Structure 1
Amino acid sequence: MSDEHGKFIWAELMTTDPLAAGAFYRAVVGWTTVEMADYDYTVFEAARPDGEGRAGVAGMMRIPPELLAEHVPPNWTAYVSVSDCDATVARVAALGGTVRRPPEDIPAIGRFAVVADPHGAVLCIMTPLPMDTPPRSVPAMTPGQFGWYELHTDDVDAAFAFYSQVFGWSLDHDMDMGDFGVYRIFAHDGQAVGGMMKRMPQMSNAHWACYITVARLDDAVSRLVTGGGSVLNGPMEVPGPAYIVNAIDPQGAFISLLATER
């Protein structure tokens, strides 16, 4: 199993209005957009911290008609790298998860599938094709990058056991949140990359939340509200120290922001 197995590598926004959503995230996060005409797909790019240009960090596409018919709302979905897409799909199913889209090839990109854990939280998995020049690693807390991934689930212990077996994630540490239960921080290859917590009653289903790093949280929140987004929770301080806010974009996709400065 490769060192990349279990690593978050991409995030993707499905939305009802790509043009408006692109303008919103350019303003709030500072991303630029590149249109992939052959695929009807938009790539969000962030500035590299070394000043050497920009690199893709996420993608965006219009919600397909078949998903709209199933009342799938605008959403962000994270991608996790796996050594063998087909084998991982089989493992997900054997452990009680479901396959939402079976493995298929994306020409020149890799092989991917859409899966859900036993509580219904959805992720994409991908076995990327080898690259002649692999992308250089960028620290997660660099503005424009995805800095954290958070699972809201019905059973933290069961979810952690599931993902540990599928992706090899390990326990970093637990934090006691009192009445809200434990917040379980998990690691990939020894690096803390996300957390798991009990789903709040106001959340209709288990889901993964993607946190985008910004330079200063209050400035980004101001741009978010001006651009038509809505704050659901925060801003608030979390251990790190860091500051977060949970929000929805103008089309209704849940998104969170993260910063080391308020």
Structure 2
Amino acid sequence: MSDPTGTFVWYELMTSDPAAALAFYGSVVGWTTSGMPMPGKPDETYTMLHAGDRPVAGLMALPEDVASQGGRPGWIGYVVVEDVDRAAEKLAAAGGTVHRQPADIPGVGRFAVVADPAGAVFCPFRGAPEMSEGPAPAPMGTPGHVGWHELMGGEVDDSLAFYGGLLGWTKEHDMDMGPMGAYRLFAGPDGQMIGGMMRRPSEVPQSFWLYYFNVPAMDAAIEKVKAGGGQVINGPMEVPGGSTIIQALDPQGAMFALVAPPAQGSGAQ
């Protein structure tokens, strides 16, 4: 089935130490791996990260030119658009920034690297025709898949207006976070919940997207994060619905998050 416009379909980690990152996420999230030649660069390998038999993300070395300009290890998400070139033009006209002009990935699709007006980076993407059919989305909460997408950016009204105009996202409802303002839940054009967005606190140096990977049990995952050289920077905390989350850094400094279902017998509804 084709993924609808406005859907996150891929996640990619650029890291300073691919081998160490593979070992870390394999332990914490449970991913297995496979390698494929980089399109147009047969001597370089792109690592696919699998949840069961499904590829869900990719991993590659942080390019030297990116590192030399101050780029740091981090995750980036790919979002389906109807036309990558038109999306890049529309984004720039709405105050966003095109960091990498639209380009083809042979046999995969077309993408660009962009930032919203507050500076959060993501990739508009359109799959090649031969990639248009795929399996149905995994059930919500499936271990190894991304369970939530969180934007820490500008004012939520401005963020939703931008992404709504570009990707068709709509407001679900707001949660009052006191002095931090509203936490706005949003859905795609198909009505499916995608994630939440909030205003970036002044102490956070830049806006960004944060991706929450599903794990079956949080206590065990936290132990693996620490044993693997990662750092829990917030949590664990229970969120509405009873799930537990943490935000963390991997050993190379890339930020990620985990979400686990309510523990059996916890009484959460």
TM-score (norm 1): 0.94
Alignment of 1:26-45 (within 5 A): 26-37=26-37, 38=42, 39-45=44-50
Corresponding residue number in structure 2 for 1:214: 215
Q: Provide Cα deviations, 1:187-216, integer angstroms capped at 9, x if missing partner.
A: 011111110011123321000001101001
Equivalent pairs counted in the alignment come to: 255
**Does residue 1:193 correspond to 2:194, yes or no?**
yes
Give 1:160-175 correspondences, 5 Å limit: 160-175=160-175
Tell me, in whole angstroms, the C-alpha distance in 2 between the residues paired with 1:59 and 1:203.
27
* Structure-2-length-normalised TM-score: 0.92
C-alpha displacement of 1:133: 4.2
> Identity percentage over the alignment?
49
| CA–CA separation in structure 1 for the residues paired with 2:115 and 2:227 | 34
| Structure 1 gaps, min length 5 | 48-53
Deviation >4 Å, runs of 4+:
none
Instruction: Measure how far apart 1:259 and its partner are.
Output: 1.0
RMSD, aligned CA: 1.3
Structure 1 pair 132–72 and aligned structure 2 pair: CA distance change class (3 A): closer
Residues 119-156 of structure 1 show CA distances to partners (whole Å, capped at 9, x for unaligned) of 10000111001337422211231110001100001321
Measure how far apart 1:180 and its partner are: 1.3
Q: What SS does the corresponding residue of 2:82 show, helix, strand or coil?
A: coil
SS of residue matched to 1:113: strand
CA distance in 1, matches of 2:36, 2:216: 28
The answer to whether 1:246 aligns with 2:247 is yes
Letter in 2 for 1:140: M
SS of 1:123's equivalent in the other structure is strand
Q: Which residue identity is paired with 2:81?
A: V
| Separation in structure 1 between the aligned mates of residue 132 and residue 180 of structure 2, nearest angstrom | 46
Task: Report the alpha carbon displacement of residue 36 of structure 1 after superposing the two structures with TM.
Answer: 1.5
Q: Which moved more, 1:126-135 or 1:152-161?
A: 126-135
- Which structure 2 residues correspond to residues 73-88 of structure 1 after superposition, within 5 A? 73-88=72-87
Cα distance in 1 for partners of 2:203, 2:146 equals 25
Unaligned runs of 5+ in 2: 264-269
2: CA distance, partners of 1:132 / 1:81: 11
In 1, Cα distance between equivalents of 2:179 and 2:208: 20
Are residue 20 (structure 1) and residue 16 (structure 2) matched?
A: no
Task: Give the deviation of 1:239 after TM superposition.
Answer: 1.0
Residue by residue, what CA displacement relative to the aligned partner does 1:88-121 show, whole Å, maximum 9, x if unpaired? Answer: 1111011010101000000000000011000100
1:218 CA displacement? 1.1
